[in-house]
Structure 1
Amino acid sequence: MLKQFGGKITPELKKRYEQSPNWKDGCFQNLEETTMDVGLAEMPGMLWKMFFGKGNSIPDQNLPIESFDKSAFLEPDDAVKYIWYGHGVYLLRIAGKTILIDPMLGPDAAPIAPTKSKRFSENTLNLIDDFPQIDLMLLTHDHYDHLDYASIKKLLPKVKNYYVALGCGRHLEAWGAAKQSITEFDWWDTHTFDGLEITFTPSRHFSGRGLRDRAKSLWGGWVIKSSETSIFHTGDGGYGAHFKEIGERLGPFDLGFVECGQYNVRWQAIHMLPDEAVKAALDSGVKRATPYHWGGFKLAFHDWTEPADLFTAEAKKQNLEVTLPRLGQLMHLNQEPQKQSWWKVES
């Protein structure tokens, strides 16, 4: 159980974090005021509703995941390919490199909680067995639904390099990753990786895995640029002015992985509502969007299909091109958007 919490903050690490322009008053800060409208007195009732409430917040049956076709994924062509495994997990092939984003493939998004947040799909850790070597892993932040101990441990032999939010490196080291393989990023930091330009971008969120490390590591999104293609992963977070700045500084983007799911008006500041997610995509210059943060876990009260339904409806109004792949489906950047609402069949 203790290993789930990750690495400890040493005095040396704290000194390093304090050098960040985004560290103030003993922790990392958002660019704009960010609070949640949830009082302590309301928490027991909300948690009861979260874990035991009825409705369509979880699928009637486990969501299937398509089999991984390694040869098709690794085929030596110029096509940009990606696979979504539910919630925040993406496997990406770009410029001959394999990139894995937020590989939370475990069965439970709340492994230290007294009640489980069970995944909508079964045996997802076994997916790792068929994965190819991972040239680069990207981590947006250290919350349990994005950074999973069991997944990282199983992936260790396959991953060559880690690019992570500032402060997340201590968790990887505690779990066995080599220090020299880890590069930590502050907001707007850019590094070149085998011809790819990788930039860590701001988001409006928070971090922490225990009672004493809230906001003691950074959170954000990623921009991945090759000579031909530009991709933006928003990271988790609420809507804010940072999206326009990201678009102005780094856009436009051929593809956007846009957070949309596990939202509520009470925590709107840290998780966008669907109409805000579409606006964020447009603000940042995304040409085609695929929403994530749904299809994996129940971490809010809405129906499990609602993020997909509302995002696609709003995107249609705003003339934003959208694609929503099935779990495990191999997608090519330029293939025609999905016409079938597969989640309506599965629900």
Structure 2
Amino acid sequence: MTVLSKTVPFVDLTIQHQPLQTAIEKAMETVVKRGDFVLGQALREFEREFAQACGVNYGVGVASGTDAIALGLQACGINEGDEVIVPANTFIATVIGVIKSGATPILVDCDPETALIDLNAAAKAITPQTKAIVPVHLYGQMVSPSQLLDFAQAYNLIIFEDAAQAHLAQREGYTAGSIGKAAAFSFYPSKNLGAFGNGGMLITSDEEVAQNVRTLRNYGAPSKYYHTQIGSNSRLDTLQAAILQVKLPHLSQWNQLRNQAAKKYDQGLQLLADKGIIPIQNVSDRGHVYHLYVIRVHDTCTLNREKLQDYLLERGIQTGIHYPIPCHLQPGYKELGYQLGDFPHAENLCNQILSLPMYPGISSEHTDWVIEQLSLRIS
């Protein structure tokens, strides 16, 4: 058995939490003393601050990114019988959110170089029932805002962004969440801005949409005990909001550190391109916030992905696959009517992609070790 020379975790949250420990504990203590654990002051403040950071007017905290999609689409007027275009290569939560809104997800293929939704493929999927498109800013990189806006205008569609992996990502002068009618974010602990549990937010510049989500998240009640809609119980806890409020001012710097680490990977892996190791393409430069750093292990590589992943783990390097099965091939979603071969780019990527360790503060020693081990095995 190989002796581990170094241990490189896939994610290490302690690096960002330790310097903030005192501030986080004080923020939590303030909430405890105030006793406003549900829909409290820290939540209202964080909603406003996060929306402002994204360049929109309103934020509404909910229980998860999935609920942000579901309730957000409902608030935008999406109903049963409507169709919503979604990329096949996304986390299943995107599809679940559409289904929970009452709409039918219509899956489409992706660009094999960027892994982002293919708008040409989306255009071919348009029907009279198509009412919205959910572009997923996958891995921390935005879908082109200009292309999205042109697409939505051409087909009279609502743009509802899934920005769960793209906190403060930028492209073409836009910040993630500011392109369309509304957007959903997740604050799952490993996200670029993560809570100490589950959480999410809907952001928008449309006051009516924001108010609708406030109502829907709170039992369909715009005021206490007055229920105008069939809503749900989906609220971002005040304690979680207080923690996120402490972390938010550091997010831009953390994103920069992720981008810098990605550039180190890019430079170190250049010589492996002709050997079948190719990073997912960055077309956003510094606007990419690298929630994940993903490479493709091509068929031309001397080692298949599974063996490469095992090899790296033997040397203390943790990796991930995001995601190993595309949405249309998930067993629980057979009723959508798709089958193997429908989305070849998404299917091919699922067999190739490998996520390398990535988090703000990952050391040069660790990134160098990952590059060195990849180079030694592949060369």
TM over 0.5: no
Choose 1 or 2 for highest CA Rg.
Answer: 2
Answer 1 or 2: which has greater strand percent. 1
**Which structure carries more relative contact order (alpha carbon 8 Å, separation 6+)?**
2
TM-score by length of 2: 0.28
